[in-house]
Amino acid sequence: MKYLFTAATLFAASVVADKRDLCSDGSVDDGGNWYCQAVEAITYTGVGGQGSYNRITNMNPDADPGSQCSSESRGYSGNLSPLDEEVSMHFRGPLQLKQFAVYIPTSTSKRSERRSAHVRRHAHAHGHGHQHHGREADPALGDMVTATIDGVVQTWLNNWSGQETSAPVASSSSAESSPTSTVDTHENWLPHLFGGGQGHHGGHGGHDSWDETSASSSAAPSSPSQTGSSSSSSGGWGRQAYYQASSNTSEGLVFLNHFGGSGSGTFDYTFGNSLSFSSPDGQSGASDRQTLEDCTLPSTAEVIIMSDRECSGDDCGYSRPDTVAFHGFDGPSKAFFFEFQMPDSGETASNQWDPANMPAIWMLNAQIPRTLQYGQAECSCWESGCGEFDLFEVLAPGDSRMKSTLHGNIAGGDSDYFTRPTDRTMKAAMILDNNNIHLKKLEDDFDFASDIDASTISEICGNTLTQSKLVSLFSLTG
């Protein structure tokens, strides 16, 4: 779904968020998306708070429409909450992921097992329109639907109107209105098709329905931290997961996608495709763990990275039956490092739902993909605020700007942006610590070593807490 935001709405949203970005130096409305200044760092302060969301407790595809999923209220509070819970990382093409690493403070990592090595909208308060947790437009009555089920391409006539659902769809990640949506006609977006008209729960291209004017109303924000040191500055940060494309190295993590029913996971006509193991090229399912090859993910592909620790019993909370379920990356202090390129494929969107040439990197509460990332809103915790953060998202086909947005009961999006790395790779860090989210472009020679000194983490955090021409601050406390 696509939701348009008026200039008045966007202005009101920025007032509520009390942002201190660089928009006073100039801004432009480009196709409904607001852009201010190109920067090399963005920090969101006051990220966490106190509130609640609806945690899914059961999914039954055979139940009557409207009662297929049940949930219970889950309270949260504290720094970064609810993103201090387990999170998953999502990548949509055209994108080349060259390196990826996850770090946590050494004091925490000593309590965690080191992992063994194994060799998918939005509308920020700026107007994005992808659907990271959304669905594509439902097929109309009489439309032909094509899908891959158990490895076999099947086609059938859609004879279900979806009229029994009445709740509006929540949109996923951003708050700007762009003509894009992470939903495409690829078979791994089936959950959108059978979502009963429901919408986003953590996919890319799902920011569209969020109204930033109410961003501060449903949760009490914590005070932002203005200290430059990390909350765990007494020790180093240990690497918990690592991927390098050139050496086909993968440790502490697993690659997944949305091809359930093809090799792994499950498929049904109520919820569509579950999570599955990803094939090496990211474009189909697999029967077991595979390492993503050194490749370019196309616009139609979404790959998800979680930890390599498989869910057992109820230690992940509730997961969709028969899905591929792994733990995410947990804790109130965690850092993610990336090396990636987003080449310009030259594609143009065939319709408003086509995410052609709009790459994105985003983070979800890991409960979302383990239940239903795309489909019925009541079958995901996304709409009730369990959390999404869009790190680098292109909002229009071929655009050279990457924006960021926080979605949840505390929400907002900075209109300053990073320049899309089309011709060469870019290294970047996202550090979640002290109730802040720091995004920073790194030097080309930055080493994703097995350990990172606390002073390095503190320096990144400290250097991104002072606004300058290349550093944008966005406060989420009103």
Query: Distance of CA 402 to CAs 33, 152, 227, Å?
Result: 11, 37, 27
**Mean pLDDT score of the chain:** 80
Read off the pLDDT of each residue in 402-428 and give the average, rounded to a whole number: 97
Predicted pLDDT at 107: 78
Peptide bond into 82 cis (omega under 30): yes
Give residue 419's identity as a one-letter amino acid code. T
Query: Distance of CA 220 to CAs 49, 82, 150, Å?
Result: 5, 12, 46
Lowest-pLDDT choice from 203-212, 302-311, 334-343, 384-393? 203-212
Query: Distance of CA 214 to CAs 7, 122, 129, 365, Å?
Result: 16, 16, 18, 21
Task: Residue count of the chain, please give it.
Answer: 478
CA gap 80, 141 in Å, rounded: 44
In 3D space, the residue among 320, 375, 20, 332 whose CA is nearest the CA of residue 167 turns out to be 375
**Domain ranges, ordered by start, for the chain:** 7-64+87-138+171-475
Q: Are 345 and 298 in contact (CB under 8 A)?
A: yes
The pTM of the full predicted model, rounded to 2 decimals, is 0.78
Q: Which residues pair with 238 in a beta bridge?
A: 104, 451
Task: Answer with the residue of higher pLDDT: 81 or 125.
Answer: 81
Q: Residue 421 pLDDT more than 90?
A: yes
Q: % helix / strand / coil in the chain, to the nearest 5? A: 10, 35, 55
pLDDT tier, 185 (very low <50, low <70, confident <90, very high otherwise)? very low
What are the pLDDT digits (tens) for 316-335? Answer: 999 999 999 999 999 999 99
Q: Which two tokens stand for residue 218?
A: 């449903």
Query: Distance of CA 435 to CAs 47, 239, 285, Å?
Result: 5, 21, 37
Predicted pLDDT at 412: 95
Lowest-pLDDT choice from 19-33, 321-335, 388-402? 19-33
Predicted pLDDT at 229: 54
Q: Are 286 and 264 in contact (CB under 8 A)?
A: yes
The contacts of residue 121 (CB under 8 Å, 6+ apart) are: 128, 129, 130, 131, 132, 133, 134, 171, 172, 173, 174, 180, 181, 182, 183, 200, 203, 204, 205, 206, 207, 208, 355
- Pairing mode of beta strands 204-205, 220-221: unpaired
pLDDT tier, 199 (very low <50, low <70, confident <90, very high otherwise)? very low
Q: Which residues pair with 50 in a beta bridge?
A: 220
Q: Residue 173 pLDDT more than 50?
A: no
DSSP string, 402-467: EEEEEESSS-B--S-BEEP-SSS-EEEEEEEETTEEEEEE--TT----SEE-HHHHHHHHHHTSS-
Read off the pLDDT of each residue in 156-167 and give the average, rounded to a whole number: 39
What are the pLDDT digits (tens) for 115-153? Answer: 443 333 333 333 344 456 543 334 444 444 444 444 444
The contacts of residue 354 (CB under 8 Å, 6+ apart) are: 180, 181, 184, 397
Predicted pLDDT at 423: 98
Q: What backbone torsions phi and psi does residue 379 show, to the nearest 5 degrees?
A: -105, 15
Predicted pLDDT at 11: 38
3-state secondary structure 135-170: CCCCCCCCCEEEEEECCEEEEEECCCCCCCCCCCCC
CA gap 44, 36 in Å, rounded: 16
* Terminal alpha carbon distance of the chain: 29
CA gap 102, 86 in Å, rounded: 13
Predicted pLDDT at 152: 44
Predicted pLDDT at 415: 96
Q: Residue 218 pLDDT more than 70?
A: no
CA gap 244, 294 in Å, rounded: 9
What are the pLDDT digits (tens) for 301-315? Answer: 999 999 999 999 999
Predicted pLDDT at 132: 62
What are the pLDDT digits (tens) for 225-278? Answer: 555 556 555 689 999 999 999 999 999 999 999 999 999 999 999 999 999 999
Predicted pLDDT at 39: 98
Lowest-pLDDT choice from 50-59, 93-102, 177-186, 269-278? 177-186
What are the pLDDT digits (tens) for 328-380? Answer: 999 999 999 999 999 999 999 888 888 999 999 999 999 999 999 999 999 99
Give residue 348's identity as a one-letter amino acid code. T
Q: Residue 200 pLDDT more than 50?
A: no
The contacts of residue 329 (CB under 8 Å, 6+ apart) are: 86, 87, 88, 89, 102, 104, 240, 241, 306, 307, 336, 366
Peptide bond into 94 cis (omega under 30): yes
CA gap 257, 264 in Å, rounded: 10
H or E segment to which residue 363 belongs: strand 360-365
